[in-house]
Amino acid sequence: MLQSRHNLAITRRDLPLQALESRAMLSVAPWNDASGLMGQDQLADLFPTINGAGQVVAIIDTGIDYTNPRLGGGFGPGFKVIAGHDFVDNDSDPRDTNGHGTAVAGMVAADPYEVGGRRYQGIAPTAKLVALRINADTDSTPNARIAEALQWVIDRRSTLGITVVNISFGTGHFDSPPSNGAFASQLAELASAGVIVTAASGNGGISIGPGVDYPAADPNTIAVGSVDEFDSIAGFTERGKLLDILAPGRELATAWLGDTTRQSFGTSFSAPIVAGTAALLKQINPATNLAEVRSILQAGGEDNLDGDSETGPVTNRRFSRLDIPTSLRLAQRRLPANDPSEMPNAPNTRASSIQIDRHGVLHAAYYDAGDARLLYATRSPDGLWSQAINVDSSPIDAGRYVSLSLDSAGRPGIAYFDATNGDLKFARSVKGQFVLATLDARQSVGLYPSTQFDKQNRPAVAYYHKTKGDLRFAAFDGSNWRISDIDADAADRGRSATMAVNSIGRFGVAYEDSTTGKLKVARQTAVGWLIDTIDNDTAGVSFMSAAFDSTDKFQVSYYDATPADLKFAVERSFGGYRTVTIASRGAVGLYSQLLIDGDNNAQILYYSRRDDALFLAAGNVTNFVARRIEAGAGRFTSAATDARDGSIVYGHYRSGTQTFVIDSTFG
């Protein structure tokens, strides 16, 4: 029996779970503050038909007082609360006598009502509810009841159409997923079936360190914390690396017992806000799974830094705060294409850049040379591609040099070359839509762009100014783009630039000194750029790819053009760089893509023109082993690592079929 939130182990024996709400109920601010914060007030105008229709949300709590007219006024088929069970009295009447479960249900699906002249309603007011009563009050609840309720959902999810479950009870304090979570197998089964489970992170704060309650700590739930009406993280919110999303959790008006309402606060009521949002996402795409919902909620949310306006202990981590309209917009944009089993039709792709977010959603930006367009699409963890969208609808030749990066929430930023005007442009996902900016104009200023985000989620681009022959750097400061020179003098420097960012958010750029043909590197410091030569024994380099390993050592793969070799360089601990030739002579090493695995070994994909094949070289500077991946393929290669399992996904051109594909995985 686990008695304290301070314990860091959970057994499969009975575990008391406590309701995650504050005991005090305040009547201060109206609902519209929270509604405006998360964009609920915009839903009727922007998404008039997305209201939870066809979705059923199970509430595992103190039951639901279904007599409340805001929750349908009745129980059974034909009412809002369509079914349920009482695991306390072991009968089929789950009517709430406490109020907690009714309030939670109201946050999900209450019909519109007014209090003090202000409008209130659930996030998904047309959704149906299932009431599962696990306690008569908000005190400790035995594990057995939670387990019974989850199994009840598993057994009846298909019959009742249950798509979302909310649990606003929890215990413990975990900064890593528990290895023996009491409901792990049932939560995993629900996730596998596509049922989304939201859970309150807990109200114990972080005075004892970062962490969240269980079952919020389970990898198969969405852990939800609270913000106040000023968008500051509520001090009571338990949080850490396992927290998935923030939602309003103070000054919330919701349904209560009988024909009443009450102001409530706590993560208990933030979780059902996200449950209601999940129901909206499932309405848009019934096949949306847990990983995709997490990805959409985080990419669609607003950044909230724990420590900028918060008081008391903070984590200094950056979380996403729920933005419902943006999340719905992303869900619509990611709907599967008409033929979702293949990459969007791109037979003329001649440049591409791909990244995979932490939830397994692949993002691809690619140049269609046939139409001279820059396209963008996503691929779900299940392998289904979205419809491709045209990033820049201007009548220009855009994207023949392209670089894509994701910020910490999974929002894409794309740097690309406007060949018609000779400009460097940048497209960033803002509120679920691409916003375009011209960073540097005319005179061929945007060749070989390479983009990354810093630790504050601000994008930066390193690029070559062809007319001046300079390596330049454009950085967004939160309001404006600032342009500076990295390496600028009478020499020609900056071709084939490739940029990486280290663990503290500073950049490193590898590039060609075209005057001498040497490979150079510029490292960002607190006082400027430190420039060094990586390889003196070259007479022209290209097809470079850079990365930092986990110890922040800079590494780069590159094509040494004079002998036509693939080479690799890694920063030495005592300064300078060590280089090695991986493959020799015969135009090997084109389109190299460098990735670093969990053991700090390099994995380099490259094209051999001599063999007309794609190869992988894996190892370190003392020992590389190369193997052929695919014959008749490998030009225009792009690659990314899936952090979930370390596998590599790559895109490449197949000369036999004359198509560009991103459908290959190994690792």
Catalytic residue among 85, 100, 173, 465: 100
Residue 501, phi then psi, degrees to nearest 5: -125, 140
User: Given the structure tokens 């053991």, which residue do they identify?
Assistant: 599
Farthest-apart Cα atoms in the chain, separation:
85
Q: Residues 6 or more apart from 527 whose CB is under 8 A from it?
A: none
Measure the CA–CA gap between 130 and 134, rounded to whole angstroms.
13
Sheet holding 412-418, edge to edge: 398-406, 412-418, 423-430, 433-440
CB 300 within 8 A of CB 326: yes
Q: Which residues in 649-664 are b (16+ Cβ under 10 Å) and which e?
A: bbbbbbeeeebbbbee
Could you confirm whether 341 is annotated as catalytic? no
> Which residue from 128, 200, 111 is spatially nearest to 163, judged by alpha carbons?
128
Q: What torsion, rounded to 10 degrees, do the Cα atoms 124, 409, 285, 125 define?
A: 0
Catalytic residue among 22, 35, 201, 268: 268
Measure the CA–CA gap between 417 and 394, rounded to whole angstroms.
13
Q: Which residues in 9-24 are b (16+ Cβ under 10 Å) and which e?
A: ebeeebbebbbbbbee
Could you confirm whether 61 is annotated as catalytic? yes
> How many angstroms separate the first and last alpha carbons of the chain?
41
Catalytic residue among 61, 423, 535, 549: 61
Question: Which amino acid is present at 230?
Answer: F
Give the DSSP H or E segment for 500: strand 493-501
Could you confirm whether 173 is annotated as catalytic? no
CB 490 within 8 A of CB 498: no
Q: What residues act catalytically?
A: 61, 100, 268
